[in-house]
């Protein structure tokens, strides 16, 4: 395999993939990076679309999730359901610091006082350590989601983590995502039916009123809008 980054190649590919179907982008990524490719999922609707495609075009791809130990029971149930349905064995990544050790070191409920530190310990650091072992990763971000994601391209150089980032659904709308899930009768988190459009860790996720910003239920009472895994260094 030729080494990345070939920055010109990334820029050209990003332009070429702007109108491509996610299947094409994912299939190309699997062919280009092989075992050096991994996909990250938090079991959200977008991730489920990608998992479904991946299970058809590149089922050997490593799929990992960042287990903070604080997910809703419904999220863990969905993980198990998807694993069985799509034949995926999810790789669990977690902080070396247990929740008990975190409490001992930083006090109880760190997420309520310092959510940035909590996310860094439980998500960002384990992610960064893992990504050092890969050349490319697939994410489920979409342009519409938050301001921090508004400049994302189908393929881009992830400077913070030093590898290529592939965003196959970057140009999809929320409606397209849900149409796909219903069309293929794929399971999704039951909490979406109970007022939770965006689901993260249980202590940091609240239901939102109909029509509200889908991510407004995350880290309520804090300025925080991202867990930090999709921010570049200068944005943190």
The four Cα atoms 65, 204, 229, 108 give a dihedral, to 10 degrees, of: -90
Asked if residue 56 lies in contact with residue 88, where contact means CB atoms within 8 angstroms, the answer is: no
Strand pairing category for 62-66 and 37-40: parallel
Residues that bind ligand SF4 (CB under 6 A): 68, 70, 111, 115, 118-119, 122-123, 200-201, 203-204, 227
Q: Helical H runs in the chain?
A: 7-17, 22-33, 45-57, 73-86, 99-106, 110-113, 115-119, 125-131, 174-183
Q: Which is nearer to ligand SF4, 106 or 178 (CB)?
A: 106
CB of 201 to ligand SF4, least distance (A): 3
Q: Which is nearer to ligand SF4, 113 or 132 (CB)?
A: 113
Q: Which is nearer to ligand SF4, 70 or 93 (CB)?
A: 70
CB of 142 to ligand SF4, least distance (A): 19
Q: Which residue is nearest to ligand SF4 (CB)?
A: 201
CB of 184 to ligand SF4, least distance (A): 29
- Does the annotation mark 204 as catalytic? no
Asked if residue 201 lies in contact with residue 71, where contact means CB atoms within 8 angstroms, the answer is: yes
CB of 139 to ligand SF4, least distance (A): 17
How far is residue 162's CA from residue 2's CA, in Å, rounded to a whole number? 16
Looking at the DSSP bridge assignments, the partners of residue 87 are none
Backbone angles phi, psi at 65, to 5 degrees: -135, 155
Q: Which is nearer to ligand SF4, 12 or 99 (CB)?
A: 99
Give the residue numbers marked as catalytic. Answer: 227
């Amino acid at each position: 395999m030729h080494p990345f980054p070939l920055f010109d190649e990334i820029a050209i590919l990003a332009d070429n993939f702007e109108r491509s179907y996610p299947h094409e982008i994912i299939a190309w990524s699997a062919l280009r990076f092989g075992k050096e490719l991994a996909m990250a999922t938090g079991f959200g609707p977008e991730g489920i679309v990608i998992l479904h495609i991946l299970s058809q075009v590149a089922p050997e791809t490593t799929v990992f999730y960042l287990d903070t130990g604080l997910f809703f029971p419904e999220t863990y149930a969905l993980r198990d359901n998807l694993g069985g349905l799509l034949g995926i064995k999810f790789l669990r990544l977690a902080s070396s610091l247990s929740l008990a050790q975190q409490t001992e070191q930083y006090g109880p409920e760190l997420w309520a006082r310092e959510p940035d530190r909590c996310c860094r310990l439980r998500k960002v650091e384990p992610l960064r350590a893992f990504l050092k072992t890969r050349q490319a990763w697939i994410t489920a971000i979409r342009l519409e989601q938050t301001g921090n994601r508004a400049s994302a391209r189908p393929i881009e150089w992830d400077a913070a983590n030093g590898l290529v980032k592939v965003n196959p659904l970057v140009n999809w709308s929320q409606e397209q995502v849900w149409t796909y899930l219903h069309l293929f009768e794929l399971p999704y988190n039951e909490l979406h039916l109970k007022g939770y459009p965006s689901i993260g860790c249980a202590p940091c996720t609240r239901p939102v009123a109909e029509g509200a910003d889908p991510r407004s239920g995350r880290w309520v009472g804090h300025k925080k809008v991202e867990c930090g895994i999709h921010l570049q260094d200068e944005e943190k």
